[in-house]
Amino acid sequence: MTMDIREAYRRALDAFGAHVHQVRADQWRLPTACAGWDVHGMVDHLVGESLLAPQLLAGRQAAEAAELTEGDLLGDDPVKAFDVAAAAAARAMEAADVLTRTVHLSFGDVSGAEYIAELFADTLIHTWDLARAIGGDERLDPELVEVCAEWFAGAEEGYRQAGVIAERPPLPEGTDPQTRLLAAWGRGG
């Protein structure tokens, strides 16, 4: 599949945002499929990633930019907080050289393309987590599932060794691509 990773990330942000707009006032404390996070915590996490993206893509060290993600980032208007942060992240992807920039993450330097792929994958998987938590449409964009699965095939073992994803649950033969991707990320479908 040949899709610009920036476009995949923008589409994933849009899909996640559509679910954020559906969260009712009584759903912010519901648990998600991502262990230890409720809806509020997950959206706060994505707002934090979106706020960091422009800073890290501009060359700041992760440790220097960390103060951007301290405390509750959602405030009194979680939907607006997400929309503003997502728009900033999307704008940060527009620079012609963004894919070849060096991004200084806490665990080491990566290319802009790799960093954006990580943001994209995290956003896509959390889109399913959020949809499941709030009773929304859990179907992910099949093109984005394909892009994510292709990228994650080379990253899965590192994620598992780092302890950031659970073990793969067993799947029957003939399982659809979305369910296979979610299982790779340690999610039961």
What gap in Å lies between CA 167 and CA 50, rounded to an integer? 27
Residue 106 clears pLDDT 90, i.e. is over it = no
Q: What is the mean pLDDT of residues 103-130?
A: 95
Q: How confident is the model at residue 164, as a pLDDT? A: 86
Burial of 106 from C-beta contacts in 10 A (0-12 / 13-18 / 19+): exposed
Please state, rounded to an integer, the average pLDDT across all residues of the chain: 94
Residue 67 clears pLDDT 70, i.e. is over it = yes
5-143 folds as Four Helix Bundle (Hemerythrin (Met), subunit A) (1.20.120)
What gap in Å lies between CA 163 and CA 144, rounded to an integer? 24
Higher local confidence (pLDDT), 113 or 69 = 113
Q: How confident is the model at residue 189, as a pLDDT? A: 52
Residue type, 184: A
Residue 188 clears pLDDT 80, i.e. is over it = no
Categorize the per-residue pLDDT at 41 as very low, low, confident or very high, splitting at 50, 70 and 90. Answer: very high
E strand or H helix that includes residue 109: strand 108-111
What gap in Å lies between CA 169 and CA 31, rounded to an integer? 20
Residue 144 neighbours by CB distance under 10 Å:
24
